[in-house]
Structure 1
Amino acid sequence: MLLITCPHCGDRPELEFRNMGEAHIARPVFSEAISDEDWAEFLYVRSNTKGLIAERWRHVHGCARFFNAVRHTVTDRFVTTYKVGAPRPDLAALAAGLAATEAAR
């Protein structure tokens, strides 16, 4: 079973969590007129990268809080988790650290 580290509760089984999509997406300003294309891009277009991605997660069967996680999309490995509001870690540096760790094995 996959364990996910909640920054508030610690290591918990994956069944307690829900993925809420990509993290650090800026919501458009509604005080200005927004085009349909810009609104559709905000709603539906995501990076969908192969490798590390910052995602928002929710601990639904625990503290019920949201948090962010960096996860590798190919291996499904969680590299780090951090509280909402904290800056996104440098994904390139994390990827280099993972590559060095794998090369040492």
Structure 2
Amino acid sequence: MAGPQVRPAGFSRPARVRPHWTGEYLLGRGPALGVLWATAAACLGVAGLAAATGGWVLGVGPAGPPARVLAGAGGLLLLYLHPVTIAAGVVLLLATVGTTLAVQRRQS
């Protein structure tokens, strides 16, 4: 009697991975409007993460710790590419800009 057949990891069959429809849009597959909104949301997400890590809001100026936390959370939400998380991410990025502007006005 032979036992269960065990295959080494290098010889296992590859699993077929199919991206979600929003991932298809990021790859440029799908309707033009879908590709555009997914690309815009991903770009905003990357900008939010850049503001969080770099401490600078593009076009506004230096961001303090509260604004950086808002930007990081907004950037992560925007990268999920679901309509609800995109809306929440945009709101957080707008709050980042508002917080940064308020701190700058208070300091000057």
Give the structure-2-normalised TM-score: 0.32
The structure with the largest helix share of the pair is 2
The structure with the largest strand share of the pair is 1
Higher relative contact order (CA 8 A, sep 6+): 1
Q: Which has the larger radius of gyration?
A: 2
Give the structure-1-normalised TM-score: 0.32
